[in-house]
């Protein structure tokens, strides 16, 4: 019954967004360690934020858009978060993606409420508004990419540039 | 037949996981189901024909039986099936329901029930559900009810509500919020969207005012 999430077949959207889609917002950004052929930053992450757990649940959700600026597909193969016991990429239903997700050349992956997230499990620390959470995205080609996401409690507006 | 197809389509769209899965951003639009008189005034997705308030009995967070059909009869009632470890869709929808109950008149809020039924029988005990529901700021006077039961009971409740049965230990579940009126029919449901709170507020005002 599940309708397949279109996943990363969204390369066209990047073309539609043009370069403005790649403008870095006020969110802290970082890039991969390996420089891609077409950009100093092969992977660019924008609009990241984290929804803290609602007690007694210990699950937090992180949202962001990640752009692959290179001319080659890259695979987001792992996510890690120090604040929890585990971090899992959910893009299709609640099922984890065991092999990660391929982001097409010049494509992007957008995780927004109802359309995927990184779930951080086992968050025991209390996350307060304005605090920052660090997660690491591990790419097959670009290597590790650090993302800093501000804590935005439920009901607070999402940061500008956040995926919707 | 056409009506049946539309209803089925709505049901299909509605079964997404807590993360959702229909990339089409099925945002409820006014008069989404065109040509169905009586739905045009709602911002949520119109239900044609209207669905009667279902009857099922589950257990509330204090361990007492709760007969949904009779105990909420005559009240504007939001009904949502989900689970408390859901990081994404469930909190968003419950927060939107809470917003709607805060923004309508006190008279409507005092009449309104919000009923959350867990699909995760393993983890969601009465106290877990009770604590979790306290995260949301519902309007004054709203009656908030958290329910659980056996798998057979939960399945029967979903079936009676014309909601697709949850799967994967309750983690893949409908993200529809049903809204029953004082006449004990649901004429509208809400699918997750960024404008869900506006649609719910808009429609609760109408449904809460109607005789």
Number of domains in chain A: 1
Question: Any idea what the CATH number is for the domain that residue A145 is in?
Answer: 2.60.40.1890
| A44 located within any domain | yes
Question: How far apart are the C-alpha atoms of B88 and B134, rounded to whole Å?
Answer: 17
The answer, for A18 touching chain B at a CB cutoff of 8 Å, is: no
| Residue A159 lies inside a defined structural domain of this protein | no
**Which residues constitute the domain of residue A121?**
5-150
B65 by Cβ neighbours in 10 Å (0-12 / 13-18 / 19+) ranks as: exposed
DSSP states of B103-129: HS-HHHHHH-EEEEEES-TTT--HHHH
Considering the entire predicted model, what is its pTM?
Answer: 0.78
Q: Has residue A67 been placed in a domain? A: yes
Nearest CA in chain B to A5: B21
Percentage of chain B with pLDDT > 70? 81
A83 occurs within a structural domain: yes
Q: Indicate whether A164 belongs to any domain.
A: no
Q: B2-17+34-209 — its CATH code? A: 3.40.30.10
Residues B157-170 have pLDDT tens digits of 999 999 999 988 88
A5 touches chain B (CB under 8 A): yes
A12: in domain: yes
Residues A15-31: tens digit of each pLDDT: 333 322 233 333 333 44
Residue B211 has a pLDDT of 64
Give the residue among A20, A19, A44 at the shortest CA–CA distance from A31. Answer: A44
Q: Are A95 and A61 in contact (CB under 8 A)?
A: no
Beta bridge partners of B180: B77, B186
Say yes or no for a CB contact (<8 Å) between A1 and B12: yes
Per-domain boundaries in chain B: 2-17+34-209
CB contact under 8 A, B22 and A3: yes
The ipTM value here is 0.76
């Amino acid at each position: 019954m599940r309708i397949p999430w279109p996943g990363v077949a969204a390369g066209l959207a990047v073309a539609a967004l043009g370069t403005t889609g790649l403008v870095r917002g006020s969110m802290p950004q970082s890039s991969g360690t390996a420089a891609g052929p077409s950009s100093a930053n092969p992977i660019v992450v924008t609009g990241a934020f984290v929804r803290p757990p609602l007690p007694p649940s210990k699950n937090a959700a992180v949202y962001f858009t990640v752009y692959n600026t290179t001319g080659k597909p890259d695979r987001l193969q792992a996510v890690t978060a120090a604040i929890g016991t585990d971090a899992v990429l959910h893009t299709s239903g609640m099922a984890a993606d065991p092999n990660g997700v391929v982001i097409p050349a010049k494509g992007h992956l957008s995780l927004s409420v109802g359309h995927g997230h990184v779930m951080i499990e086992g968050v025991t620390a209390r996350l307060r508004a304005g605090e920052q959470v660090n997660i690491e995205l591990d790419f097959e080609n670009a290597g590790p990419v650090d993302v800093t996401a501000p804590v935005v409690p439920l009901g607070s507006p999402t940061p500008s540039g956040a995926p919707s | 037949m056409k009506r049946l197809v539309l209803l089925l389509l709505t049901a299909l769209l509605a079964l997404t996981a807590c993360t959702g899965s229909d990339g089409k951003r099925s945002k409820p639009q006014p008069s989404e189901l065109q040509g169905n008189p009586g739905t045009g005034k709602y911002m949520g997705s119109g239900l044609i024909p209207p669905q009667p308030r279902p009857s099922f009995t589950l257990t509330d967070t204090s361990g007492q039986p709760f007969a949904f059909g009779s105990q909420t009869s005559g009240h504007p009632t939001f009904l949502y099936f989900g689970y408390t470890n859901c990081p994404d869709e469930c909190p968003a929808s419950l927060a939107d329901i809470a917003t709607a109950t805060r923004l309508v008149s006190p008279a409507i809020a005092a009449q309104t029930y919000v009923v959350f039924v867990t699909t995760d029988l393993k983890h969601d005990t009465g106290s877990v559900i009770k604590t979790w529901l306290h995260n949301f700021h519902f309007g004054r006077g709203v009656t908030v009810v958290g329910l659980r039961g056996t798998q057979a009971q939960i399945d029967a409740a979903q079936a009676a509500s014309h909601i697709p049965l949850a799967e994967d230990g309750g983690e893949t579940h409908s993200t529809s919020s049903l809204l029953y009126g004082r006449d004990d029919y649901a004429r509208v449901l809400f699918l997750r969207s960024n404008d869900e709170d506006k649609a719910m507020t808009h429609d609760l005002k109408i449904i809460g005012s109607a005789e």
